[in-house]
Amino acid sequence: MKILFTCGGTAGHVNPAVALAQMFQARNPGCRVLFVGADGGMETRLVPKEGYEIETVTITNFRRSLHPAAIVHNGKTLLNMNRSKRQADAILDRFQPDLVVGTGGYASFPVVKAAAKRGIPTAVHESNAVPGLTTKALSKVVDQVMVGFEESRSHYDDPDKVTVTGTPVREDFFRYTRKQARQQLGLTDQAPLVLSVWGSLGAEVMNRQMAECIARECAGGAPFHHIHGAGRNYSDLLADLKTRGIDRKRYPQIDVREYIYDMPLVMAAADLVLCRAGASTIAEITAIARPAVLVPSPNVVADHQTKNARVLERAGGAVLLPESACSGAALYGQIRTLLDDPGRRERMSRSLRDMAVPDAAERIYETLRALMEKTGE
């Protein structure tokens, strides 16, 4: 059995594919897996770290603008489309996959489309609430469309082709209870824990706001635990806190880290999460039912993070705070409001549990196996 996964652009596209690759190989000894991504994409770094081979195609996006630079860029994209088609055909010739699965990102388009044209079983999975241009286009030619949310079904022309599977998360996120996680982190009191993180690369704007938020926490006596992942702006945040006269040694409850390497453990211990609204993050907080304040990044394609956040907000599992309305004071106010109302947080958790699909990887695996059996008849 040979499975080809094609994805890229964000961790939200790569992580589900890796989870599925691991499941296929665990259950099918001898199963070979190949990933295909875009030249220079983050997937070329993430996938090899998981132990998988990756090949690339040359592809870029279209820019919706009449600016001269955008016109030049779009011209290059047209040329790359022809080039990526040839590259996709060459990869399929070499690998001869039994199944091709796209999980999002521009690299998926030429590979999945070429595979569908050859009659190879094909499927796409969309983690975001509203499909991106790639998934929407491929949904017309693939055998199966899988989505993370029930309300996503209506965005496709052929709803009968759509299966709601949820979005897989790493098994690590189900390893700890809140009590176990707090014990492992050394939290022996009853004070709640707030987790805040704004992406693996951090976010300069949000870290400036976190400095103000943390300053307000200190002024109030730091009545709760707070673990913050600053990312690449870590040193700038520490300098900002120092400028505000905050001696971090006086407030051991506030743990500012460059990166949070043990995210499943920290999130399991958390009573409230402050974060962006990317597909992976949404899947994780939903899977383990952690109430959240979501500040969608405004710098993403088609504002898809706001659309993701609205799904959780409407379900009652999260508060949506647009970055344009965000400040250190606003963040601190949301923290205090939610920590002071455990009943509301429990209702938020219950709403998230109701919409969670903890066996998402299993559902996708079974859907893909059924597709292979059906097309192999």
What is the Cα–Cα distance from 13 to 312, expressed in whole angstroms?
19
pLDDT tens for 305-319 read 999 999 999 999 999
Classify 186 in phi/psi space as left (phi over 0), alpha (psi -120 to 50) or beta: left
What is the Cα–Cα distance from 335 to 210, expressed in whole angstroms?
12
pLDDT of residue 69: 74
pLDDT of residue 68: 74
Instruction: Report helix, strand or coil for 298.
Output: coil
Global model pTM greater than 0.95: no
More confident residue, 241 or 170: 241
Which fold, 172-355? Rossmann fold (3.40.50)
pLDDT of residue 374: 86
Domain limits of the chain? Answer: 2-167+358-375, 172-355
Classify 8 in phi/psi space as left (phi over 0), alpha (psi -120 to 50) or beta: left
Segment 332-352 mean pLDDT? 97
Instruction: Report helix, strand or coil for 15.
Output: helix
Residue 169's pLDDT band, with cuts at 50, 70 and 90, is confident
- Percentage of the residues of the chain whose pLDDT score is greater than 90: 72
More confident residue, 232 or 201: 232
Contact between 239 and 256 (Cβ < 8 Å): no
Write the CA distances from 260 to 146, 166, 217, integer angstroms: 30, 25, 21
Range of weakest confidence among 92-96, 177-181, 297-301, 365-369: 297-301
Same fold, 2-167+358-375 and 172-355: yes
- Helix, strand, coil % over all residues of the chain, rounded to 5: 55, 15, 35
pLDDT tens for 129-159 read 888 888 999 999 999 999 998 888 888 998 8
Residue 61's pLDDT band, with cuts at 50, 70 and 90, is low
What is the Cα–Cα distance from 330 to 259, expressed in whole angstroms?
24
Residue 86's pLDDT band, with cuts at 50, 70 and 90, is very high
pLDDT of residue 75: 74
Q: Is the pLDDT of residue 202 over 60?
A: no
Closest CA to 182 of 269, 107, 96: 269
Kindly report the number of other CB atoms within 10 A of residue 155's CB atom. Answer: 19
b/e per residue 262-294 (b: at least 16 CB within 10 A): bbbbbbbbbbbbbbbbbbbbbbbbbbbbbbbbb
Which neighbouring-strand residues pair with 145?
A: 124, 162
User: What CATH class has 2-167+358-375?
Assistant: alpha beta
157 CB-contact burial (10 Å; exposed 0-12 / middle 13-18 / buried 19+): exposed
pLDDT of residue 121: 97
pLDDT, averaged across the chain: 91
* HEC letters along 69-83: HHHHHHHHHHHHHHH
Residue 375's pLDDT band, with cuts at 50, 70 and 90, is confident
pLDDT tens for 251-306 read 999 999 998 989 999 999 999 999 999 988 999 999 999 999 999 998 887 788 99
pLDDT of residue 106: 85
Torsion of CA 353, 355, 358, 360, to 10 degrees: -170
Q: What angle do CA 116, 117, 120 make, to 5 degrees?
A: 45
Write the CA distances from 186 to 183, 193, 211, 262, integer angstroms: 5, 12, 24, 14
pLDDT tens for 347-356 read 999 999 999 9
Instruction: Report helix, strand or coil for 144.
Output: strand
Contact between 264 and 185 (Cβ < 8 Å): no
Segment 98-121 mean pLDDT? 95
Closest CA to 326 of 206, 234, 204: 206
Torsion of CA 42, 44, 49, 52, to 10 degrees: 140
